[in-house]
Structure formats: structure tokens, C-alpha cells
Amino acid sequence: MEASIVIPTCNKASYLELTLASLLRQSYPASQYEVIVVDDGSSDRTSEVLEYFAGQQWNFRSIKQRNAGRSAARNAGILATRGKIVIFVDDDCICCRNLVAAHTQRHAGASNKAVIGLCSDIFTRLPIDREQCKRELKKMLCDMRYTFTEHPAVIEAIENIVAALPVTLELITPEDIDKYPEKIELLAITNPDAYVYDAFQRIALQQFSCPWEFFVTRNVSVDRDSLLKAGMFDEGFRGWGEEDPELGYRLFTAGVVFDTTLDAIIYHQAHPRNKEMTLKEWLGNYMKFCEKYDAPELYLKLQFARRLITLPDYEQIVGKIKAGLLGETDLQAIKERYEELIADCLETGLEPA
């Protein structure tokens, strides 16, 4: 077995369905890769989706655990893998047909390696607001100089049709993944940032100072031995954010070689999220990350996150830190600025979750 794909999931059945449909249709030989989904306490129709894909002709397994968090779910998946390399994909990502092939190709003949793939975005589902439809109906009636009481049968018929509308409009179905791949290209938003492509090239040449910042588990792979030696994911990180770059940082400092591929592409499915809670979870995990290592390059990240410096600025300063070009005064200033920004977050009500 060459590759194992590990996917943690919790209550994202409709998105997961498209993820698995895309992995079922890979160009890589089906006998040489496996997919392991770790269900982290879902209460929606995830079990139904998993049962369907377990019945397909491929190497597929699922593990169920109580809601223990993303890190614990990924670790459970890692321990169940049989492949030489482990590819991490999120449960809301559609994978290009060459994803497994591209990752395995970059690992060929090498060990102690991490490979980062490209991430784009895509719209696969849109919410339908039934109440908005009713409001628009009333508005149109007023524009036409009618009232709701003048044509009750017509109004009732329209309201019944509106009531029967689905809550969500499916823009892409699992069948589309196989039969109409052009729909993915039509609805996808490719990464427009030219700097990302420059960073990918420099990471591949080992000329990028902070490759762990691109170690996002939507689309990365690591040889299994390196993952186990590094200790896998830190299960102390709960909620959203930073558990993946923290592992990337650990792998990098342990000497794992980082590489990239533009041929392994995932399309992250846009979905509603609680932005305030996401920020609180991220802040809590980021502070834990900083406390764990007490490293200036990590304290500096908050300036980038708050858009006080750009990613190129951040990478350049990290390069100077690693080269020993900044004195103690400069390093202390970075930490003090971090403390000021954390205090500002707390004052504005952004409490870490």
C-alpha cells in the first residue's frame, strides 16, 4: 500500500459525500491507496454516507469516536493507516483526479518528507431563503396592484411550491464528480495570489524560511514514519486552527524536508461558519502554540494575522531570525508587540475559546 488518505469529519455529510466521490475516481491504481474517515461524533447522515462508500470497490474504512476533536481524529486515522505515506484531506474538499498520484510521485525514492498541495475554493451548495421568496412574492403583487386576498388560489399554489423547495440548492452532485468534471472548473475559484506560487517554488528548493505556515491539512502528505517520530497531532489543540501548522513546525524543526506540488489540487467547498467562534478558537490555539515553543517567529505571526505585515514581510523577518541577524532587542520587541496585540484582542472582547 503506497498511500493512505486520512479524513476527520463531524456533521458535514453533504460536503463529505463530494470529497469521497472525488477520491473514488482517482487516476492512481485503486489497489495502491486507501481512504480512512474518522467520524468524530457526527449526528447528521454521515453514517449513511460512510455506509454507501464502504460498499464501493475500493480500500475504504471508517472509524467512529466520540467528539474528541480534529487532532484526536487525525491521530486515530494515522494509527489505522497501512500506506507508506499519509495524505491529509479535509471533509469539505473536492480532490482533483491526480491528487494521490501527485503526492506519491513527490515522495518517490525519498523519506523524511512532507509535501504540500495547492488549495482553491469552490461553491457546491447555496442556501435557499424561503421567507425571502415569500417577501418577494408580496412585493411583486404590490407592484402589480394586487393584494394577497384577491387571488387566494394562486397565492396558495405558489406558497406550496416555495414550501417544497429544498433548504439548499445543490450546485454539484456526487454524480457530477465523475460525469461532468467541467462543472468543477466552472464553479472553482483558483488561488489568485501570485506570491503563493512563488512560495511553493521556493519551498521546493528549500529556500523558504517558514514552510510550516503552508502545512494545512486540507492537502498535505507526510511519510508515515516521520509522523510517528514527531508524535502526530497535539490533541491539546481543540476547536479550529493551528493544530496543523504546529505539527508542520515540529516536523520542520525535526529536519523533515518540505516539498510542494502544483499537480495535487483540492477545491475547498465554501460553507457557512460562525466567524466569531472560529476566531476565538483560533486565538486560543495560537496562544497555546506560542506558549509551547516561546519562539520569536511564532510571536511574529500575530502581526501577519492582523495584517500589520504581509506574508512576504513575515517570511523575510523569519529568515533573519533563523540566520541570527536580529539582536536581543529586536527579538524582545517582537514578543512585546505580540503581548500588546493579545491584550488588544482581549480588550475588544475576542476571548480565546
pLDDT for residue 141? 67
Tell me what the mean pLDDT of segment 210-225 comes to. Answer: 96
- Is the pLDDT higher at 148 or at 198? 198
Residue 20 has pLDDT above 60, yes or no: yes
**In angstroms, rounded to a whole number, what is the distance separating the alpha carbons of residues 275 and 68?**
22
Tell me what the mean pLDDT of segment 114-127 comes to. Answer: 91
DSSP 12: -
Q: How many C-beta atoms surround the C-beta of residue 175 within 10 A?
A: 9
pLDDT for residue 206? 92
pLDDT for residue 15? 96
Residue 34 has pLDDT above 70, yes or no: yes
CB 27 within 8 A of CB 97: yes
Residue 94 has pLDDT above 80, yes or no: yes
pLDDT for residue 10? 95
What's the pLDDT tens digit per position in 145-179? 556 566 677 777 777 777 777 778 888 999 999 88
Q: What's the chain's average pLDDT?
A: 90
pLDDT for residue 352? 65
What's the pLDDT tens digit per position in 254-312? 999 999 999 999 999 987 777 778 888 888 899 999 999 999 999 999 999 888 999 89
pLDDT for residue 282? 86
Residue 18 has pLDDT above 80, yes or no: yes
Nearest Cα neighbor of 9 from 36, 42, 51 is 42
Which band of pLDDT confidence, cut at 50, 70 and 90, is reported for residue 103? very high
CB 24 within 8 A of CB 96: no
Nearest Cα neighbor of 117 from 188, 38, 196, 18 is 196
Residue with the three cell numbers 460512510 = 50
pLDDT for residue 288? 93
Weakest mean pLDDT among 15-24, 131-140, 311-320: 131-140
All cell numbers assigned to 346: 482581549
pLDDT for residue 145? 59
pLDDT for residue 215? 96
Three-state secondary structure readout of 164-201: CCCCEEECCCHHHHHHCCHHHHHHEECCCCHHHHHHHH
**In angstroms, rounded to a whole number, what is the distance separating the alpha carbons of residues 65 and 91?**
16
Distance of CA 72 to the CA centre of its chain: 16
**In angstroms, rounded to a whole number, what is the distance separating the alpha carbons of residues 186 and 282?**
32
pTM of the model: 0.89
What's the pLDDT tens digit per position in 52-85? 999 999 999 999 998 889 999 999 999 999 999 9
All cell numbers assigned to 257: 524536508
pLDDT for residue 278? 80
CB 214 within 8 A of CB 116: yes
Nearest Cα neighbor of 88 from 79, 78, 102, 96 is 78
**In angstroms, rounded to a whole number, what is the distance separating the alpha carbons of residues 262 and 174?**
24
